[in-house]
Amino acid sequence: MKIRIAVIALFIILAGISSYYIFQLKFAFDFEQFFPKGDPDLEVFREFIKDFETDDNFMLIALRRPEGAFEQDFLKKVHDLTLKSRELPYVQESQSLTKFGYPVKTPFGITTIPAIHIDRPELYEQDRQRLIQDERFVYNLISPDGNTLVVYLKMIDGIQLAQAREFMKALDALIDTYDFPEYHYMGRPYFQKELVAMQQREVTISALISGLLVSIVMFFIFRRAWGIFVALISIGLGMLLFFGLLGATGRELNAMSALYPVLMIIVGTSDVIHIMSKYVDELRKGHPKDKAIVTTIREIGLATLLTSLTTAIGFCTLLTSRIGPIRDFGVNAAVGVVVAYITVILFTTALLSFFHTDQIVKLGRSQLFWENLLEKTYRYTISHRRGITWGTLILTVLCAVGISQINTNYNVINNLPRGEKITKDFIFFEKELTGFRPMEFAVYAQGDHLATDWEVVQEIEKIEDHLRKFDGIRAISSVTALYKSINQMNANNRQDAYALPETESKFRSYRRLVDQMPKLSANVMLSKDRKKARITSRILDMGSDTIKVMGQRIDDWIATAVDTSLVEVDRTGTGLIIDKNAEYVRRNLLEGLGVAVIIISLLMALLFRNWRMLIISIIPNLIPLLLAGALLGYLSIELEAGVAIVFAVIFGIAVDDSIHFLSKYKLTRVKGIEREEAIRITFRETGKAIILTSLILFFGFLVMLFSIHPPSVVIGLLISITLISALLSDLLLIPLLIRWLRA
């Protein structure tokens, strides 16, 4: 009695501590988190940003007037916003076409004429036509139809979440002072703020809905207040301790955090049902409560320990990933499984020992229903052996076909919350302006050449011209823009004069002017030693595989068309690094699952000490993995970083029921009971718990269909469907394999 009270008291203290630390939880979203560690292209990119600024330090504000942006009142507001936005926190520079002026050479020196004559409406159409034909501005600072103007804000490098929130709050307040018909945002601070808000919402909503679902299920299972109370308090305590531990250790919650409440609830529910079902069975046999608890811990505790270990191992396979958030998810989820097990095996058993059967569960017709169902299922495995065998073979073939159709053409849009402003803004920029994904080129002058030499600049222009042949690449810019602008200025700003000078002597004279320009920042287009130059652009969200093919075509062209004695070129940028995740996802997925199968096989070998049982335990759990892969192929779901964790979750959880089934079968056989009767007893005593936990897992993951985060919806759907296949595989295939291998 003293031990039970001490255990309960300890968990109450831990709950109090966790309640404090749960408010210390940190949420984060940063594109750098998804960079694959150790990748050679990542090292190139890091060297690139040492010489130049980062490629995502911007915030774009698109201001649209459907009737046309060239209206005086609208233009004045855009100009006023451009000026005032410079005063916002963490903004280094602001620009829009209302501030831009074309340079003009006069006898008295160089002056400028405004790109938009705000105070002269009679020139608006002329200004509009000129701007939408200017390659520097169309898609970048003005839409092709002339109805949208963009205010460009240059932010500090590496802006953090707290800073992003402060900036966005100030920006929203400033925007509210105007009555723009329509406005859209695009940029790193906006993404950080909105996606972290989505994470917080997802964690809260998934916890509430999962908790409600489990409460309903527990009511139908136990029909007794104390039974429901013990189950819910155990599951809730496990989740509280887990989140408290994350808060205490300073672990950051990322884009996959919405899975944690669901995982903790369903893993805890599975453990609780197995423990409570066994305890009730022992009480019904007439054993006293103390002996019933000891038997429950000895028989189910060991099986539950093994299931927790296998589930944790499944999650730990994600450590093979080079992508930070996936590794973090694997570690955190594995820790959560262990926390849930410890809570159930200590707290739940201590609490259960105070209650007898009638207080925990209401027995009646439901018991007879389960007995009849499990008896029919057992007999089905005898009478339909051939049908089960052929069904398994046909399903395997269909799965192989589906797996062959899997694609990894990852799109950013598929990771944005459905129906939210951030997604609508993203779509607007893709359609009317330019994309978010940066594509950068680092140009290295060779030998004694500098990036500002005539020959080198010509090679840079050659690359730019080639890039313009691709419809998906927009907002292309480099150091050539300076020389082209000067050349245009010297030709009375004729539109066709925006080009490099025709002679080297002219170019050198222009270069002297460029050297005098104070706004030519060494970190924008040229390195300080002038040995490196930068070509910057942004590409539409066409999919990582599509972009990879396009990028390879560009690389191949550069290798043959560019003079490598003058320059060497590396394609780089945030977009390229993140897109490479797709390649690592495929590779790490197979590596991780291979490691998981080997480790779990070793555990099975130690548990059963029989090669036949090892085969029996592994084969049924490969079926759900094959089915998950097939569903990805047949449903045209992209295999990207978030979805990849499905396989670790499925294998780690699916093997649990196999362990419970085979552990009971082994215990029955050890008692000297013959094979067929042992299968029958296993069905009767373990089948109910297996079915109930699988149904809870099914509906628990279906909760994720309420998510506004598309990958979470996909994960919930895939896991739900495949775990039901795991249940059928356990109940139908395992008995068949036992008989076939005579285990």
Which amino acid type is present at position 505? S
Task: Say if residues 569 and 515 touch (Cβ distance below 8 Å).
Answer: no
Cβ–Cβ < 8 Å for 613, 604: yes
The pLDDT tens digits for 700-743 are: 777 778 778 787 788 888 888 888 888 888 888 989 988 888 76
User: Residue 709 — φ and ψ, nearest 5°?
Assistant: -100, 110
pLDDT of residue 213: 77
430-479 pLDDT per residue, tens: 999 987 788 888 899 898 888 888 999 899 999 999 999 888 888 888 88
Residue 238 and residue 344 in contact, taking contact as beta carbons nearer than 8 Å: yes
**Pick from 264, 238, 687: which is nearest to 230 by CA?**
238
Residue with the two structure tokens 């932010």: 155
Sequence-distant (≥ 6) Cβ neighbours of residue 66 within 8 angstroms: 147, 181, 182
CB 473 within 8 A of CB 573: no
Sign of torsion over alpha carbons 298, 299, 304, 307: positive
Out of 3.90.930.60, 1.20.1640.10, 3.10.20.30, 3.40.50.10800, which CATH number does the structure's domain 2-30+194-247+256-360+370-414+580-741 have? 1.20.1640.10
Say which residues have a Cβ less than 8 Å from residue 493's Cβ, sequence separation at least 6.
102, 104, 113
Neighbour tally for 724: CB within 10 Å = 16
Neighbour count for residue 384 (Cβ, 10 Å) = 14
Q: What is the pLDDT of residue 520?
A: 44
Kindly state the helix (H) or strand (E) to which residue 372 belongs, with its residue range.
helix 365-383
Q: Which residues make beta-bridge pairs with 277?
A: none
User: In this structure, what is the dihedral angle of CA atoms 381, 386, 388, 393, given to the nearest 10 degrees?
Assistant: 150
Helical residues (DSSP H) of 223-346, grouped into ranges: 225-248, 259-284, 289-296, 302-316, 324-342
Phi and psi based region of residue 609 (left: phi greater than 0; alpha: psi -120 to 50; beta: remaining): left
> What is the chain's Cα-based Rg?
32
Work out the burial of residue 346: count CB atoms within 10 Å of its CB; fewer than 13 is exposed, 13-18 middle, 19 or more buried: middle
| Average pLDDT of the residues in 164-180 | 93
Confidence band for 34, pLDDT divided at 50, 70 and 90: low
Query: By the 8 A CB rule, do 445 and 532 touch?
Result: yes
CA 148 to chain centre: 32
Enter the tokens of residue 251.
Answer: 């672990």
Helices (H) and strands (E) in the chain, counts: 27, 12
Instruction: Pick the most confident of 34-38, 289-293, 397-401, 409-413.
Output: 397-401
At residue 208 the predicted structure's pLDDT band, cuts being 50, 70 and 90, is confident
Sequence spans of domains, the chain? 2-30+194-247+256-360+370-414+580-741
Task: Kindly report the average pLDDT of the chain as a whole number.
Answer: 83
428 or 40, higher pLDDT? 428
Where residue 522 falls among pLDDT bands split at 50, 70, 90? very low
Alpha carbon of residue 348 to chain centroid:
34
In terms of DSSP H, where are the helices of 1-133? Answer: 2-21, 40-51, 72-85, 124-132
**Strand, helix or coil at 151?**
strand
* Tokens read off for 130: 């000129």
The whole-model pTM stands at 0.78
Find the distance separating the first CA and the last CA of the chain, reported in whole Å.
42
Q: Rounded to an integer, what is the distance from CA 510 to the centroid of its chain?
A: 48
* pLDDT digit string, tens, across residues 331-369: 888 898 899 999 988 898 888 888 877 777 776 556 677
Q: Nearest to residue 641, comparing CAs of 34, 33, 29?
A: 34
Minimum mean pLDDT among 168-172, 272-276, 531-535, 647-651: which range?
647-651
Provide the pLDDT confidence category of residue 285 given band limits of 50, 70 and 90: confident
Q: How confident is the model at residue 28 (pLDDT cuts 50, 70, 90)?
A: low
If DSSP codes are grouped into helix, strand and coil, which group holds residue 37?
coil
Give the pair of three-digit tokens for residue 327: 């590794």
16 vs 252: which has the higher pLDDT:
16
User: Looking at the predicted structure, is the pLDDT value of residue 521 above 60?
Assistant: no
